Amino acid sequence: MKKIAILAAVAAVSAVAVPASAAQLIRISLVDKSTAQIDAEIRAAAQAVCTDRKAVVSDECVTGAIGAANRQLAAIAKARATKTVAPRQDLTVVRVSLKGKSADQIDADIKLAAQTVCKATNGVSSMADYRACVGYAVRSAKAQLQAATVASRQDA
């Protein structure tokens, strides 16, 4: 298991706290430690970071450093959590705008839409299947375009 560290740094520095230039970076290993052990190490690290040269600990600084460390710990825990992947819905329809386009532009848009649909399809596993899918989708789209063109001429 990789060692994962929490970076404990000063999040807020007040006039009473140690100057920002004196802030330290402390790494805390999370490997084989309980939550109580991690919390204790975060508190000790915050106190070490927030102690000035006169051995005075700023409570405001400690609170800010603990808060920053806990946010980092939460981000690590969230990243470790297993992510559920939403089921992919098959993309079956892509609309291609024809307005103001030449025949070549329409053909290029149809091919791009066919490629998009075929990439989204779960059943396409090989390059040959992908090419066949694109070819079929292009032919289907051109047939639909031709049918729409014929229908619009008949209506006119």
pLDDT for 33 equals 86
Which domain, by its residues, includes 113? 103-155
**Residue 85 forms part of a structural domain:** no
Statement to judge: residues 60 and 107 lie in one domain:
no
**CA atoms 46, 49, 52, 58: torsion sign:** negative
How wide is the angle at C-alpha 103 spanned by C-alphas 91 and 156, nearest 5°? 95
Statement to judge: residues 59 and 121 lie in one domain:
no
* pLDDT (mean) for 68-74: 88
Statement to judge: residues 66 and 109 lie in one domain:
no
More confident call, 46 vs 7: 46
Statement to judge: residues 64 and 9 lie in one domain:
yes
Statement to judge: residues 18 and 71 lie in one domain:
yes
Statement to judge: residues 118 and 75 lie in one domain:
no
Residue with structure tokens 């052990």?
37
Confidence band (pLDDT; 50, 70, 90) for 59? confident
Contacts for 91 with CB less than 8 Å, ≥ 6 apart: 116, 117, 120, 121
What is the chain's mean pLDDT, rounded? 75
**Residue 64 forms part of a structural domain:** yes
Number of domains in the chain: 2
Confidence band (pLDDT; 50, 70, 90) for 18? very low
Percent of the chain residues topping a pLDDT of 70: 75
pLDDT for 40 equals 92
Single out the residue in 27, 49, 80 at which a domain terminates: 80
**Residue 88 forms part of a structural domain:** no
* pLDDT (mean) for 97-105: 87
